[in-house]
Structure 1
Amino acid sequence: MDTIFALASARGKAGVSVLRISGAGAWDAVSALCGGRLPEPRRAALRRLIWQGDILDDALVIVFAEGASFTGEPSAELQVHGSIAVVDAVMRALGQMPGLRLAEPGEFTRRALENGRLDLEQVEGLADLIEAETEAQRRQAQRSLSGALGRLAESWRRDLVQAAALIEATIDFADEDVPVDVTPEVTALLARVQADLSAQIAGFGAAERIREGFEVAIIGRPNVGKSTLLNALAGRDAAITSDIAGTTRDVIEVRMDLAGLAVTFLDTAGLREATDAVEAIGIARAQERARDADLRVFLIAPGEDPTELAQVQPGDLVRIAKSDTPAAGGVSGKTGAGVPELLSEIGEILSQRASGAGLAVRLRQRQGIAAAADALDRARAALDPGGAASEIVAEELRSAARALEILIGKIGVEDLLDTIFSSFCIGK
């Protein structure tokens, strides 16, 4: 396998730039630059980098032994001065060495996965951490990067293996000294796993919103002050405002950090009978986005009865537009009155929803968990009096385990036999 290298820090001028090298030839490459003076593994040392008689830079050099690096391969890091010219010179030198090549996107992390340094959840967590914009996203990504879901899935796997071992023991070793009726113990194991799976499925929606961001739609009649309120929330002129009805003909979005959560506010076209085809499209889009939004803020004119508006639904926040009396439910995008109170209430509502987030944050993970839960439902039904034979129960347990492969990998026959032998002392 090739030894790869790449710039690990951002491109451009900086105080320090970090170059990463990984593969069997990593130490030899660094040794060639350092004149054979490699530092001790995992100890930073100042070395002068020289290539073909040319001094490239004075750099901090760190080497990592196989099995003790991010990728699991012999690796090295060069911390050089953050000059574009210095980085280019070192990269050129590395590129001229036999067996070295520039890494492809994500190749270091892919090698970490292939070498068992990270599992798939951790790889995705690392990607999310790099993309994190808010505190909630950072915390969520850190949980994934720490392998929290993988550890939980491993506990599910142990329970499934134990349950399968009990069932298989009654099938394959019926004449041996094993429990006659394993149903109560198997039922308890499956119930415990099912409870955890159900909790993760229930918390998927909130976890996904933390990762992708919440949407809050501002809705109301034309000229009620929606665009002005959006500008006040954004702190800039994100939407065009005027006294002409129908000025906003599409959905205008402003993304911001609210209470540590990524929130996108949507300024929608005014709700009224359209006077032309273009406005009709804008209103239709507004209604569609509003239906899909996580929260809706309904602006009404002073004196307008919100109960007469069919679009207002339970859970909507209703505010009296162009009003400087927040205590009476008023808000003014022009003066800013009531805006802090509105933001505070929105943040509190969304934070409460986010508090129920599970560890599964991607659709792939949810699908794997849901498939496992379905298989366990069928297994428990087969355990009921008058249900299917033990062979069918065992097959459903294997289906549940296979569904979790996406998180924890495949459980094999050897795992199953090891559990049977250790638990029941078969053949003693």
Structure 2
Amino acid sequence: MLVTVMRGPRSFTAEDVVEIGAHGGVVAVKRVLETLLAQDGIRLAEPGEFTKRAFLNGRIDLMQAEAVIDLIRSKSDRAFAVAMKQAEGTLSKRIRELRQSLIELLAHVEVNIDYPEHDVAEMTNAYIRERCGKAVEEIEKLLKTAKEGKILREGIVTAIVGRPNVGKSSLLNALTRENKAIVTDIPGTTRDIIEEYVTINGIPLRLLDTAGIRETTDVVERIGVERSRSALEEADLILFVLNGSEPLHEDELELLGKLKDRRMIVIVNKSDLPQQIELEPIKAIVPEESIVRMSVKAEQGLDDLEGAISALFFEGQLESHDLTYVSNVRHITLLKQAQQSLRDAIEATEAGIPIDIIQIDIRNAWEQLGELIGDAVGESLIDQIFSQFCLGK
């Protein structure tokens, strides 16, 4: 057994911490834990308590604390790298720089309010527009990363749809490199939605293999078809699988037409067999670059599919030199609110509104940015954030 003593304030929580490393398997660990819990004043940690203590003691800010959750939940190397950057404080630093520029602006405005005889309203309004405009631009840069960041954090919900026996389950197995779904020549084999996570070019995909969409009298299969239609509504990306060795069915063309405004890649499967499908009606609905020929059975075309998915969401590649992504919904919401407050301040200067009223909008933006890093946040929100952690973090 190894006992390590870490003295505050150099520990993660900035408090005195004792770590016990017990050898011998689960039974030994359990008995050590039982012995400790029998002592007065010792209890099990609450979810996220260690990270919460680190935040409350000023070791990390709230954005860094939330990044710990993202590290735990990372579904790809890229998502892990982005979360690590946030945990190191890269994003927090940019928020603090923004707040510093706004507090300097507020100080300038305050002087003009206290000494109006030295104020030239037109010059002050121009200064406010300039500084607020720069802050709006900086927030806009961060918000532009929100779509990619959210995808890296949560994954792309991807529905694999099509008629029975076109190769949907085979595609799932090929992408996961495992036999997750049962594959037979019998129509209606897949009755329920099968869910799996895969990573393609650093992008996590939450794959939903759905039941073949067709009219059926089988009660169980009909339920599966309805669930498939529900999965279509939920999906960020649709992989529409067609059988290239047979003519295009009327109901397939009809469904393609209904989904034409969605992010979709049409996979013409079984390209290793003599082709009977006519592509012109499909090209009238879907861009040619979103049509991929494959033979899942012969393992042909997987690279083309992965490239099409990357191009659809990230214009072919992710920026490798900058991992400062905004991915948290709370962060996105507060950034948008701060941006709007700054725009309101700019509009107010143009409308000739008194400077002490304009100051309120600038202060609102400063406080909203403060909520991001935890400088101005309620206890209930803190409890809600840390309740999402697992024990021991």
Shorter-chain TM-score: which interval?
A: 0.7 to 0.9
Query: Comparing both structures, which one devotes a greater share of its residues to strand?
Result: 1
Is 1:371 the counterpart of 2:337 in the alignment?
yes
Give the Cα separation in 2 of the matches to 1:329 and 1:98.
Answer: 66
Shift of 1:390: 0.9
C-alpha change, 1:114 and 1:312, in structure 2 (3 Å) is closer
Give the Cα separation in 2 of the matches to 1:301 and 1:95.
Answer: 62
Is 1:316 the counterpart of 2:264 in the alignment?
yes
Secondary structure, aligned partner of 2:157: strand
Give the Cα separation in 2 of the matches to 1:359 and 1:289.
Answer: 28
Shift of 1:307: 7.0
Kindly indicate whether the alpha-carbon contact (under 8 Å) linking 1:251 and 1:282 is maintained by their aligned counterparts in 2. yes
Kindly indicate whether the alpha-carbon contact (under 8 Å) linking 2:85 and 2:324 is maintained by their aligned counterparts in 1. no
Structure showing greater Rg: 1
Match of 1:393 among 358, 374, 380: 358
- Within 5 Å, give how 1:40-51 maps onto structure 2: none
Secondary structure, aligned partner of 2:117: coil
Q: In structure 2, list runs of 5 or more residues that go unmatched.
A: 276-290, 377-393
Q: Deviations over 1:14-69 (max 9, x none)?
A: xxxxxxxxxxxxxxxxxxxxxxxxxxxxxxxxxxxxxxxxxxx4x3x543332211
Q: Which residue of 2 aligns with 1:333?
A: 296
Shift of 1:276: 5.9
Shift of 1:280: 4.9
Q: Which residue identity lines up with residue 223 of structure 1 in the other structure?
A: N
Give the Cα separation in 1 of the matches to 2:41 and 2:211.
Answer: 59
Kindly indicate whether the alpha-carbon contact (under 8 Å) linking 1:199 and 1:358 is maintained by their aligned counterparts in 2. no
Q: Which residue of 1 aligns with 2:153?
A: 211
Q: Which residue of 1 aligns with 2:305?
A: 342
Match of 2:94 among 145, 152, 156: 152
Q: Which residue identity lines up with residue 368 of structure 1 in the other structure?
A: L
Structure with the larger RCO, 1 or 2 (CA within 8 Å, 6+ apart) = 2
| Identical pairs, percent | 33
Q: Which residue identity lines up with residue 300 of structure 2 in the other structure?
A: A
* Range that drifts further, 294-303 or 205-214: 294-303
Secondary structure, aligned partner of 1:373: helix
Q: Which residue of 2 aligns with 1:69?
A: 11
Give the Cα separation in 1 of the matches to 2:316 and 2:102.
Answer: 31
Aligned pair count reads 351
Q: Deviations over 1:96-145 (max 9, x none)?
A: 55544443332221111110001111111112212223101211110110
Shift of 1:94: 4.2
Q: Which residue of 1 aligns with 2:51?
A: 109
Q: Which residue of 1 aligns with 2:282?
A: none
Kindly indicate whether the alpha-carbon contact (under 8 Å) linking 1:159 and 1:190 is maintained by their aligned counterparts in 2. no
Q: In structure 1, list runs of 5 or more residues that go unmatched.
A: 1-56, 412-428
Match of 2:77 among 114, 117, 135: 135
Kindly indicate whether the alpha-carbon contact (under 8 Å) linking 1:206 and 1:353 is maintained by their aligned counterparts in 2. no
Give the Cα separation in 1 of the matches to 2:54 and 2:108.
Answer: 36
- TM-score normalised to structure 2 length: 0.78
Shift of 1:78: 3.8
C-alpha change, 1:242 and 1:174, in structure 2 (3 Å) is same
Shift of 1:146: 0.9
Q: Which residue of 1 aligns with 2:379?
A: none
Is 1:186 the counterpart of 2:128 in the alignment?
yes
- Within 5 Å, give how 1:13-24 maps onto structure 2: none
Q: Deviations over 1:369-396 (max 9, x none)?
A: 1111111111110011x33211211011
Q: Deviations over 1:281-301 (max 9, x none)?
A: 543432343344333222223
C-alpha change, 1:317 and 1:239, in structure 2 (3 Å) is same
- Within 5 Å, give how 1:354-365 maps onto structure 2: 355=318, 359-365=325-331
Shift of 1:342: 2.4
Q: Which residue of 1 aligns with 2:283?
A: none
